[in-house]
Structure 1
Amino acid sequence: MLLEKSAVVEQKKLLAALSVGVLAVFVVLPLWWKTTEVYRATLPYKEIEQLSNRENVITITRQIVVAMLLEDDAKRDDLFLAKIQEYLRITEQVVRDNRYVTLRYIIKKQADGATLNFLMESIKTAQTIKEASDVVGSLLDSQTGHFCLVLFPQSLNSNLFNSVEPRVFVSKHRIALVQLSSVSEDDTALITRTLDVVYGGTDLQSVLSESLHLQNKETVNVDRMRQLRPSAGVQLSFTLLNTDPYILSSHWNIEDAIDGWLRPFMAHRGIRYLCSFYIESQVLYYTDLELNPVKRNGLYTISAENLPQALSILESRMGFQVSQLPNLNFVVYVSPINKTPLYLYHPPDWQHGYTSLFSPQWGGLVVYNHDSSNGSDHHDVLVDMHRVMPTFITQLKKLLGLPELERDSVDILIEEVPEHGVLNWQTDRMLEAKMVECVSFTLTTLQSLLRLLDEVKNMVISDKIQQEVMHSMGKLIKSKEHSSDGKLDLAFQLAKQSMHSAEMAFFDPSILALLYFPDDQKFAIYIPLFLPVGVPVFLSLVSIIRQLIQKRKSTKQD
């Protein structure tokens, strides 16, 4: 009887240990492994790789309308058209090797006889070049984003260009009036040089290559390093430095200056599409550059070599660092009474001083000299913003990446625009470079993200990251489609949105949640918890296996 009870108890112990072991192996262990794994949403790895390797991601289309008022000389027409086509073919060839960009030119000859006659009569009766350009612009709709090249002989209106030396007039719209004397190499070279000035010509390759960082470091244009990268917004900070208000009280009318100078500049089509601007202004009292000017020939001079340190100290006191947006600082420094006039210089050439400083990625500084010879102990200085704002606008153009125009050509005259204005074809060239830059950053960011997630297997890939990656890819594809259709503004906006989504995915906080929690640390944390329970379960399973083996052997012997 006791043996039977003992056998029943042993059998129950065996079943209990076996059930615990089975439960631990087939339920607890998989459940623990499943609950501790990292969620990883599916990402389109192959699609992004194909998108990165695909050539001609962006196609830039430029259309040139050629209106030839060359009387009845068909051979001359054919010659000039052939020369223009050859120039454009060379330009396309230069850009063809670029991985991300294809340049496509479309040439249209304005062959409507009535239109040509009207243009001819308009140029004959025009009193000024600008008047003739306005007539051409209103007739050919120069606002459509295309460039109109009007070629006419010198005999058509020999007095039109008498007031200026050049034979080419380029308006602020996309109109170029070219006065030709004869069919010669000089004339064809003049036409190609005009296209170079307006559309960049072969220089487009360097602009795009610098945007994509494809060139050698030694040949990268310094101007590209000065510019801000494309972003959703830029904060513009205007600061007036007042060193000692008891002796020198400085004032400025910054509100009217912003409304009169800065807002018209920001309202331009290309600048408005580039980014959003947030403007702040302040007056800092008892703030100096903390430099010791050296007096030479009655003038106080400051070496530009000492200014970076002074600007760093000044930036810590301006208080605009709370914004997450890129910040550009524009500072007006009113020279102290006992140190005026004050000029900056690059050593050792101290004789050629200047009053403004441009700092890449930072902003600009203007030294405002005033009249301190009234003999009074207290001076009130009202800053003339007409002296300051043109300099700030010029510095802002450089920081945003607006290309500078070639104004040193003796053959080409570019219509002057206000200091706060920009030309339409200037913004086109800027948006092209910025669009390519956005595409480059987007593809680089997506590729880096995929490599990171592929190498670190336990890194979280949330649904938000998946959505941002898909959104970035969709916007990038749409940007290419719109750029192929010539819709440059919309293409740039989509490319910028694509870059922003890629950055949001790359810098998502959820990615770092388990970055420092790899599998070895997972085991290091859970083994101390599971080991006290796991060892008895494991020993019980070993004991059960031994008993089953012994029971099997005894059964065979019986």
Structure 2
Amino acid sequence: MPPPAGADASAASTSGPDASESPSESLDAVRSQSHAPPETSESLWLRRSVILSFWAVVALLGLPVWWKTTAIYRADLPLPYMTDWADGKICKPVFPLRIAVEAPLALQDAQHLIHTTQHALDDLNEFSAHHLRLMLSDLPAPANASQQVVRDEGPTSDEDTALSIRLIPVETGPTPRSHLQPYSPTLDVYYAANQIPPPSSTGSPLATFIAHELHKIFAEEQALLAYLLSTTSGAHTAKMQSLSPETTAELERQSTRAFKYAPTYHLTFSLFTPSSMPSAWDIESALQQYLSPLLESFAAISNFTVDSQVQLYAGFSPSVREPEYDEALKAWTLRKEDLSGFINAAEWPLSPSIGIGPTVNFVLYVPSESQSPLLVKESGANSWLVPQWGGVLILNPVSMAGQNGSIPTILTKDALSPAMHTFSDQLISLLGLPQTPASLPLRLSTLKRVRAASLLFSASSTLGALARLTRALPSIPIPDTVAKSVDLTTAHLQQACDHLRDGRFQGALEHARIAEAEAEKAFFERSMVGQVYFPDEHKVAVYLPLLGPVAVPLVMAAIKELKSGLSAIRRR
């Protein structure tokens, strides 16, 4: 039933909006009722204080702690000084060799002969860094060609004297003539009494002869040092000796064949045989007789450790072709390309390296009777040298068979004599000993000077590499141990250079050896090497997931408050 009309009108008047209000006015009224009350100044400053406190903790506590815990410590290194060493600006090595002359002459005649010979030597010398100083054996001060007074160096010892010349007057035989002692640094010069130059002369055949003999004795040493200086970056001398292409090629071949210098070498002697005989060898007695004197002569340059082993039933590698019989040579032969089977560590286990020094391997192979004699097809030799590895010798049983024609069970000291002589020659080549002159002490002293110079250049180059690495990678740490090693390196390098300049080559070698070891220790510091492989990109990848969630709310809150403050300033 429909409601009455009056009721509808009254309901509309009580529940609906005032007919006199517009729709926009009613919407504004609703909005005014929904707004929050205005923020008080106390709450505003409280909120800003909270935000500032967070930023204060980050700036005053978080950042310093982060900076302190993640900072890379870099000790101070004398980088310009290190670079100058590498460029050869600090030390220009020279090699003054003192030559003592024993002359049975009057003092005035002996001094005149020395001065005349010195002039002739200077005319022959093309390498100013290497020069010979003649001096009377009973006088402390060396005499030079210009007769200038050199600084007093004190009495010279026998160790500082490179060579002694003994003038011996004779009445028979051709004169002048000379003889170099094979096991003593002594040159005997035989002359006639009428060959002594008078005081008024400026030259004589005897002085010219001595000068040419000395130049010939030290020719290879000058070539070695000139080659070393020419191949070393940063090594500059006032006057460099020009080397022929043939000499340069020969010196390069010798340098690639020899081992790098080391204070200690480990020698391993191995006996390999394809059968059960010989099953033993008298290696201890053979080494004591044939090799120990040579090793003792090298004691001033390097030390040696020795071991030996016997490997029975040592057959060739499957990749190596079996020996072939050559009718022309009447022997079994191996091709040159198959010689690598003798250094195959998988088939013939050699002793591992012991200690920090390089291992020099010497292999003695005794073939079976059915394949003896065994030679190299291309050369017909039974021994060969492996550069920077060692030497191999094939000891054919035909040359050592007993009366019954069989291989002996034990290789005696006499049977090992040819092998020991061959191994001695191979060791000399592998250690870089010069081939001339005929005197072994002179060759050893030459090697001492060459090794001292090479170590000095190597340590200086390592310092330069370390300086470049430090500049190129500012993110790597430099511990105090590196700085200490650098200081020790530069100190010993300076002492080595001073000893070279004074002609004390044994001391120069010892200081250069320490400098090289300290330079290598500084360059290969473990903490530095590990940090090289951890660049800054890795650090960002580690820190960003941790700092991002914390930094975004702080930054957004700071931006909001900054905008609020700017708006308030504009309204004013």
From 448, 455, 464, give the equivalent of 1:431: 448
Q: TM-score under structure 1 normalisation? A: 0.79
> Is 2:213 the counterpart of 1:194?
yes
Kindly indicate whether the alpha-carbon contact (under 8 Å) linking 1:142 and 1:173 is maintained by their aligned counterparts in 2: no
SS in structure 2 opposite 1:64?
A: strand
Corresponding residue of 1:170: 180
Counterpart CA distance in 2 for 1:80 and 1:357 is 46
Q: Which has the larger radius of gyration?
A: 2
Counterpart CA distance in 2 for 1:211 and 1:543 is 70
Corresponding residue of 2:310: 283
CA gap 1:209/1:472 in 2 versus in 1, 3 angstroms: same
> Is 2:304 the counterpart of 1:293?
no
Corresponding residue of 1:535: 552
Kindly indicate whether the alpha-carbon contact (under 8 Å) linking 2:266 and 2:354 is maintained by their aligned counterparts in 1: no
Which runs of 5 or more structure 1 residues have no equivalent in the other structure?
Answer: 97-101, 113-139, 408-413, 415-422
Corresponding residue of 1:179: 190
Counterpart CA distance in 1 for 2:52 and 2:360 is 72
Kindly indicate whether the alpha-carbon contact (under 8 Å) linking 1:197 and 1:405 is maintained by their aligned counterparts in 2: no
> Is 2:514 the counterpart of 1:497?
yes
CA gap 1:72/1:367 in 2 versus in 1, 3 angstroms: same
Counterpart CA distance in 1 for 2:106 and 2:467 is 62
Matches within 5 A, 1:363-374: 363-371=390-398
CA gap 1:321/1:153 in 2 versus in 1, 3 angstroms: closer
Corresponding residue of 2:145: none
Counterpart CA distance in 2 for 1:286 and 1:316 is 10
Which runs of 5 or more structure 2 residues have no equivalent in the other structure?
Answer: 1-35, 140-155, 196-202, 233-242
Corresponding residue of 1:16: 50
Corresponding residue of 1:464: 481
> Is 2:60 the counterpart of 1:50?
no
Cα shift at 1:393: 1.3
SS in structure 1 opposite 2:275?
A: coil
Kindly indicate whether the alpha-carbon contact (under 8 Å) linking 1:211 and 1:224 is maintained by their aligned counterparts in 2: no
Instruction: Please tell me the root mean square deviation across aligned C-alpha atoms, in Å.
Output: 3.3
Corresponding residue of 1:31: 65
Kindly indicate whether the alpha-carbon contact (under 8 Å) linking 1:469 and 1:501 is maintained by their aligned counterparts in 2: yes
SS in structure 1 opposite 2:270?
A: strand
CA gap 1:211/1:325 in 2 versus in 1, 3 angstroms: farther
Say how many residue pairs are matched: 489
> Is 2:264 the counterpart of 1:233?
yes
CA gap 1:73/1:482 in 2 versus in 1, 3 angstroms: closer
Corresponding residue of 1:126: none
SS in structure 1 opposite 2:299?
A: helix
Kindly indicate whether the alpha-carbon contact (under 8 Å) linking 1:70 and 1:151 is maintained by their aligned counterparts in 2: no
Counterpart CA distance in 2 for 1:377 and 1:261 is 26
Q: TM-score under structure 2 normalisation? A: 0.77
The amino acid across from 1:195 in the alignment is L
Cα shift at 1:316: 6.3
Corresponding residue of 1:452: 469
Corresponding residue of 1:418: none
String of CA shifts for 1:428-457, please: whole Å, max 9, x gaps.
Answer: 100100011001110111101110111011
> Is 2:454 the counterpart of 1:385?
no
CA gap 1:528/1:12 in 2 versus in 1, 3 angstroms: same
SS in structure 2 opposite 1:272?
A: coil
Cα shift at 1:111: 8.0
Instruction: Identify the structure with the greater strand proportion.
Output: 1
Kindly indicate whether the alpha-carbon contact (under 8 Å) linking 2:265 and 2:359 is maintained by their aligned counterparts in 1: yes
Counterpart CA distance in 2 for 1:380 and 1:550 is 107
Cα shift at 1:72: 11
From 308, 315, 328, give the equivalent of 2:360: 328
Cα shift at 1:90: 3.8
> Is 2:493 the counterpart of 1:476?
yes
The amino acid across from 2:375 in the alignment is Y
Kindly indicate whether the alpha-carbon contact (under 8 Å) linking 2:85 and 2:463 is maintained by their aligned counterparts in 1: no
Counterpart CA distance in 1 for 2:360 and 2:395 is 19
Higher RCO (CA-CA < 8 Å; seq separation 6+): 1
Kindly indicate whether the alpha-carbon contact (under 8 Å) linking 2:91 and 2:494 is maintained by their aligned counterparts in 1: no
> Is 2:296 the counterpart of 1:267?
yes
Corresponding residue of 2:227: 209
String of CA shifts for 1:191-236, please: whole Å, max 9, x gaps.
Answer: 23421344x1375144342366248985753112212222232111
Cα shift at 1:380: 2.1
The amino acid across from 2:324 in the alignment is V
Using the aligned pairs only, state the percent identity: 22
Corresponding residue of 2:4: none
String of CA shifts for 1:73-123, please: whole Å, max 9, x gaps.
Answer: 95x9846742443314542xx333xxxxx33432223589xxxxxxxxxxx
Cα shift at 1:321: 4.0
CA gap 1:212/1:510 in 2 versus in 1, 3 angstroms: farther
String of CA shifts for 1:455-494, please: whole Å, max 9, x gaps.
Answer: 0111121111111111111111111222233221121011
